[in-house]
Structure 1
């Protein structure tokens, strides 16, 4: 019979009270674990159901099972610590100290793994909640593609740390393993630098949400349109001419974007209308206000406005402003307002000026050297000379 088995029998016979306490502690641990599971299912479930978010519901549901096993592992470790202090053979220098120490490390490793399982369940639940509820509001289809990958990455990282702790308990060096993992990660990162940058850029867009599918945006280079899709690597934008603009996510995350759909879809139409000198500004302002107020898509709040802003070289400048509900209708409404304004100005006898220029020609007449001044008719907007003037000038 092995010596350790005989020593274990002797420890059991002489210290049966300590074993009874050990069994009682295990029983209490089992009861506490069961109660904790019920508390999380019933009491905590009723409390979190009153909140406005489903995150707490997901966390309670995901942590119910792992919490029970974590309590059992920690209770077993506590009971073994009590047992080792009560039986000399299990203590330092005892006959069974080595065996009891190995058993204790195994229980500690089990506790580390159960804690890792609990942390992993909570992390996955939070990740699922974010990508399925918050990200779904942005209509990003790649969130469903990214979810399995993120879950695997998070799970691998958590259990890697847990197994590292277990190996350290048995005095196994993990430096070589960590170095190998670091080299492999660096090689993967270098080989897929652009891909990872675009994926991280897409994750930033998903978290920060500077725009959503359906928003009308404009980039710093002047191009833009309606966001059609935020993919895993690229963002697709439908331009006004119907073509697709595909932009890498890393560029979208690092550029300035004008979003015409946030924080509100309402946009302002602002432009300048010129009237000729000699025109009374007040009637002209009333004409512009009447046109804007009569348009069915111009909002009454903020109210349309017209201001006399500048004396130009050949005209009086009137600035007008109004708001509409949708930025996608801006070009159409602007066209309709311009047509109505032009007709209204013509009907009210208000002149719209254009640049003119008077040309004075001095011509010597006969041998007497008499200078005659002639004024040419006003040139048109392009500045072309009036026919006939060049012949007079040459004469």
Structure 2
């Protein structure tokens, strides 16, 4: 009995030691988090793997880490409260840990929301509100709502009275409006761009007849454009909203016309030149049969006769490749047909060769 009593007394002393108790609570929370992770892996992950869809697999995978970290931070909070040094810092420690947990779960909610939105948009009907083209709008609203809710709970964690903030919301709103006018302009421009439907993801657009590329993402602040050089450029939405935009993928049909410029020398047979230009389109890749290719005599220039070969393509990404292929075919065909390709010529008249004696001027008559 004496041994048991000594053992109980030793345990009592150990539990009365705040540092050992804090370490025990932290170790217990890590163990509990590991057990919960094991249960999730054996039950939820296995159940999600047996379903036909991948949505539940993605959601379970997203929520595993926040659950694990939440249990660990809860144990860390309880362990911090047992330390004597934490008496004066109990509230800041609690608020800091709660803030971290709020951020972790906010990010998880955004990721889960994105998975659900993408799944619903992929299975949407023609008249559904949620479409792949309107997906960025719902994504923006989701992130805005989650961010607002997260800020609200962070204020509550730090015990900040929101009444005074709401009372001075007008002044703060004006100050924030001036300080973040560019950010707000990009935000509203992004909403208007998506609402107007001027372009969507996977469209090929041209900005101010300079920047051309494929839209890869429409975000809250900017739009990502992948150029033909495989360079991704982030363009602020406010810049796109104020720019002249050409949507090559828009309109009733996705096709677009490509012009190939060609010139022949004066004196060439115009009809034969037109036939040669049309002949290069036979068996050319990426060219549509309807509308049919056309050759147009456009102008009589300073050095030659200017023609344009018009063809239609269905994929804007093939524009540069088609231009290269047809330009090569036109050059070879004109040479094969012995049609001269002109180039600028200038006649130079030399009044006096260098080193020659100057020609004396004749006096005027009378």
TM-score, L = length of structure 1 = 0.48
1: CA distance between counterparts of 2:258 and 2:213?
A: 18
| Cα distance, 1:357 vs structure 2 | 2.8
Kindly tell me the number of residue pairs found equivalent between the two proteins.
218
Q: CA deviation at 1:316?
A: 1.6
Aligned partner of 2:133 in structure 1 is 138
Structure 2: tracts of 5 or more residues without a match: 1-116, 122-127, 149-163, 360-366
Q: How far apart are residue 289 of structure 1 and its match?
A: 0.9
Q: Does 1:318 align with 2:304?
A: no
Q: C-alpha deviations, 1:155-180, integer Å up to 9, x for none?
A: xxxxxxxxxxxxxxxxxxxxx99975
Give me the whole-angstrom Cα distance separating, in 2, the residues matched to 1:308 and 1:142. 47
Q: In the alignment, is residue 149 of structure 1 matched against residue 111 of structure 2?
A: no
Which shifted more, 143-152 or 314-323? 143-152
The corresponding residue for 1:196 is 184
Equivalences for residues 57-68 of structure 1 within 5 A: none
Q: Superposed, which structure 2 residues align to 1:190-229 within 5 Å?
A: 190-220=178-208, 222-229=210-217
* CA deviation string 1:48-74 (max 9, x = no partner): xxxxxxxxxxxxxxxxxxxxxxxxxxx
Rate the CA distance shift 1:361–1:194 in 2: closer, same or farther, 3 A: closer
Asked whether 1:243 is paired with 2:231, we answer yes
Q: Extract unaligned runs of 5+ from structure 1.
A: 1-127, 154-175, 370-395
C-alpha distance in 2, partners of 1:333/1:152? 47
For 1:359 and 1:252, how far apart are their aligned partners in 2? 50
Q: Identify the residue that residue 265 of structure 2 maps to in structure 1.
A: 276
Does the 8 Å contact 1:315/1:353 carry over to 2? yes
Deviations 1:127-178 (A, max 9, x none): x9xx96545422745633523635998xxxxxxxxxxxxxxxxxxxxxx999
Deviation at 1:297, TM superposition (A): 2.4
CA contact (8 A) 1:140 1:230 kept: no
Q: 2:341 aligns with which of 344, 352, 366?
A: 352
Cα–Cα, structure 1 residues 152 and 275, in superposed 2: closer, same or farther, change >3 Å?
A: closer
Partner SS state of residue 282, structure 1: helix
1:51 maps to: none
Q: Residues 139, 228 of structure 1: CA spacing in aligned structure 2 closer, same or farther, 3 A cutoff? A: farther
Rg comparison, structure with higher value: 1
Instruction: Note the alpha carbon deviations across 1:99-123, whole angstroms, 9 max, x for none.
Output: xxxxxxxxxxxxxxxxxxxxxxxxx
Q: TM-score, normalised by structure 2?
A: 0.52
Structure-2 change in CA distance of 1:252 and 1:309 (3 Å): closer
Q: Distance in 1 between matches of 2:130 and 2:174?
A: 30
Partners in 2 of 1:241 and 1:331 — Cα distance?
Answer: 11
> Residues 140 and 250 of structure 1: is their aligned pair in 2 closer, same or farther, counting only changes over 3 Å?
farther
2:155 matched to which residue of 1? none
**For the Cα contact (< 8 Å) 1:146–1:232, is it kept in 2?**
no
Structure 2 equivalent of residue 336 of structure 1 = 325
Once the two structures are superposed, what CA deviation does each residue of 1:29-85 show, in whole Å capped at 9, x if it has no partner? xxxxxxxxxxxxxxxxxxxxxxxxxxxxxxxxxxxxxxxxxxxxxxxxxxxxxxxxx
Deviates more, 1:255-264 or 1:308-317: 308-317
